[in-house]
Structure 1
Amino acid sequence: MGNTQLASVPEPKYWHLKTVLSEALDTEFAVGEVLPNERQLSARFGVARATLRQALEQLELEGRLQRRRGVGTTVAPPRLGVAVGTDHGQDRPGTDDDLWQPVDCVDAVPPAAVVRLLGSGSGETVHTVQRTRSADGRVIAAELLYVPAAAVPGLSAIEPLAGAARARAVLREFRRLGLEGQDRAVELGSAGAEDAKQLDRLPGAPVLVVTTRHFAEGRTAAVGVATYRADTCRLTFGESGAVQVTPQGPDRRAS
């Protein structure tokens, strides 16, 4: 890092410092490398520690840095590429893949926004399947898949089942449907208490929310609401229908 001075810039000092630090992360530091301490960085860039902390906090929020207890501030791995499309994909609920792992399933009344997408009654309970998605040994997404009982009429004898076993039973029956397609909407959100716990983030942390409607026989057969860690994932848009996570090698420098 050079001795860049930030005495007079038209933007806030911490924001300009964030840009300078980001460029240094791209060229001088490898993933996992520990940054110099605050005193050294403050002296090198000629800024107060408060300014430096603001810049570091912003880079952490953007997923460029990680603060590890007992280690310090390290360069974070590149974000995982999440491809979003509108066709059939391998990550379709019920397919035999390792992308999503079933965790639990309960019968519950879905949120009003999901009720509207399903076209069901406001007080009607649906099978609510909880799934998680992992990459590089960490959970990067949590999903609630809402499946109306009418979509899985062949489902029976699941009352004794609980947890992941119940979720797998619903997914197996859902797989029997001849799904005709799906559509997706993506928006920026903030992590609620349950999502934050699963994703190992603080409540209110930025997340990417992907809402998917699955169609069969001309109607909405299920709705999935997947919450991705915004600090570890980036969205890519293409013709593929699958939401595919492609981890990038740990030897890559931060992007």
Structure 2
Amino acid sequence: MGTTQLESVPEPKYWHLKTVLSDALDSEFAVGEILPNERELAARFGVARATLRQALEQLELEGRLQRRRGVGTTVAPPRVGVSVGDPAHSWPGINDTADPWRPVGSDEATPPPAVARLLGTEPDRTTHVVRRTRLAHGQPLAAELLYIPDASVPHLSSIDAPGGTARARTLLRELARLELEGQEQAVELGSARAEDAKELDRLPGSPVLIVTTRYYAQGRTAAVAVATYRADTCRLTFGDPSGGMQLLAG
């Protein structure tokens, strides 16, 4: 990387630095290569470390860089296209071998207020929560919390599966008894919570894409899924991939 004069540039220094760094990533660094430390980079470009951090954070948000625990900042691989609208995977109750999601546990908890409103339940009422993870090439791409009210799994018995992965699979089997009538999805940019960051091998506060899906069956909300995707590695696609047109997020 060479140096550049930033003082006369009318746009914010960090934004111009981000462009310079992006060009350098394309020409001088390979995927997975570790960048020099902040002190070296700041000295090389003649900027304050605060300015450098802003540029690095923006590049991470755009998926060009990854911060890894115990490693440092590395050049990110191209984002993986992840379908969130594939009809074959639209209903968690399918629970078949083709499903990219894998159950990792379950418990009962009070859902966040926004989820309780979507479910139409009382704010302090507990629901079943299935924890699932989505992998690609052996790497974690997303972590999901699937909230299921009692009314959606009326035949569930506590003796069927006391907890953990076995109970998660039982809940999904019971959910499969319902016929999916429709769903709504919303996507927003967020920051990784400590629990999600650990599961996704990210630092807490790292940028993530949060996909909230509301599932309908029997004329009511049958379940709500809140999936946290790695914004640095995922490119979300919506709609049927075979249909020609895809909407991209991230």
TM-score (ref. length: structure 2): 0.81
C-alpha separation between the residues in 2 aligned to 1:131 and 1:207?
Answer: 16
Q: Which residue of 2 aligns with 1:115?
A: 116
C-alpha separation between the residues in 2 aligned to 1:128 and 1:38?
Answer: 41
Q: 1:12: Cα distance to partner?
A: 2.3
Q: 1:155: Cα distance to partner?
A: 2.1
Q: 1:103: Cα distance to partner?
A: 1.3
C-alpha separation between the residues in 1 aligned to 2:6 and 2:135?
Answer: 41
Q: Which residue of 1 aligns with 2:189?
A: 188
C-alpha separation between the residues in 1 aligned to 2:207 and 2:46?
Answer: 31
Taking a change above 3 Å as real, the CA distance of residues 147 and 158 of structure 1, as seen in their structure-2 partners, is farther
**Superposed CA RMSD:** 2.8
C-alpha separation between the residues in 2 aligned to 1:118 and 1:49?
Answer: 46
Q: Which residue of 1 aligns with 2:104?
A: 103
Contact 1:91 1:99 in 2 (8 A): no
Q: 1:171-250, aligned counterparts within 5 Å?
A: 171-239=172-240
C-alpha separation between the residues in 2 aligned to 1:139 and 1:147?
Answer: 23
Q: Which residue of 2 aligns with 1:125?
A: 126
C-alpha separation between the residues in 2 aligned to 1:185 and 1:15?
Answer: 29
- Secondary structure of 2:157 counterpart: coil
Q: Which residue of 2 aligns with 1:93?
A: 92
C-alpha separation between the residues in 2 aligned to 1:126 and 1:42?
Answer: 50
Contact 1:88 1:182 in 2 (8 A): no
C-alpha separation between the residues in 1 aligned to 2:83 and 2:164?
Answer: 29
- Secondary structure of 1:226 counterpart: strand
- Secondary structure of 1:63 counterpart: coil
- Could you tell me which runs of 5 or more consecutive residues in structure 2 were left unpaired when the two chains were aligned: 243-250
Q: Can you list the C-alpha shifts for 1:115-150, whole angstroms capped at 9, x where unaligned?
A: 211122333322111111122333221111111121
Q: Which residue of 1 aligns with 2:147?
A: 146
Q: 1:45-60, aligned counterparts within 5 Å?
A: 45-47=45-47, 51-60=51-60
C-alpha separation between the residues in 2 aligned to 1:129 and 1:72?
Answer: 33
AA partner of residue 183 (structure 1): E
Taking a change above 3 Å as real, the CA distance of residues 69 and 173 of structure 1, as seen in their structure-2 partners, is closer
C-alpha separation between the residues in 1 aligned to 2:126 and 2:34?
Answer: 50
C-alpha separation between the residues in 2 aligned to 1:9 and 1:225?
Answer: 42
Contact 2:141 2:200 in 1 (8 A): yes
- Could you tell me which runs of 5 or more consecutive residues in structure 1 were left unpaired when the two chains were aligned: 242-255
Taking a change above 3 Å as real, the CA distance of residues 179 and 54 of structure 1, as seen in their structure-2 partners, is closer
AA partner of residue 81 (structure 2): G
% same residue: 73
AA partner of residue 87 (structure 2): H
Counterpart check, 1:65 vs 2:49: no
Q: 1:84: Cα distance to partner?
A: 4.1
Taking a change above 3 Å as real, the CA distance of residues 4 and 184 of structure 1, as seen in their structure-2 partners, is same
Counterpart check, 1:21 vs 2:21: yes
Q: Which residue of 1 aligns with 2:246?
A: none
Q: Can you list the C-alpha shifts for 1:37-96, whole angstroms capped at 9, x where unaligned?
A: 6676556645456544443343234331234577654311122223344x7342521321
Matched length:
240
Taking a change above 3 Å as real, the CA distance of residues 177 and 68 of structure 1, as seen in their structure-2 partners, is closer
TM-score (ref. length: structure 1): 0.79
Taking a change above 3 Å as real, the CA distance of residues 30 and 153 of structure 1, as seen in their structure-2 partners, is same
Q: 1:160: Cα distance to partner?
A: 4.9
C-alpha separation between the residues in 2 aligned to 1:49 and 1:109?
Answer: 42
Structure of greater relative contact order (alpha carbons < 8 Å, 6+ residues apart): 1
- Secondary structure of 1:77 counterpart: coil
Q: 1:105: Cα distance to partner?
A: 1.1
Contact 1:30 1:75 in 2 (8 A): yes
Q: 1:164: Cα distance to partner?
A: 0.5
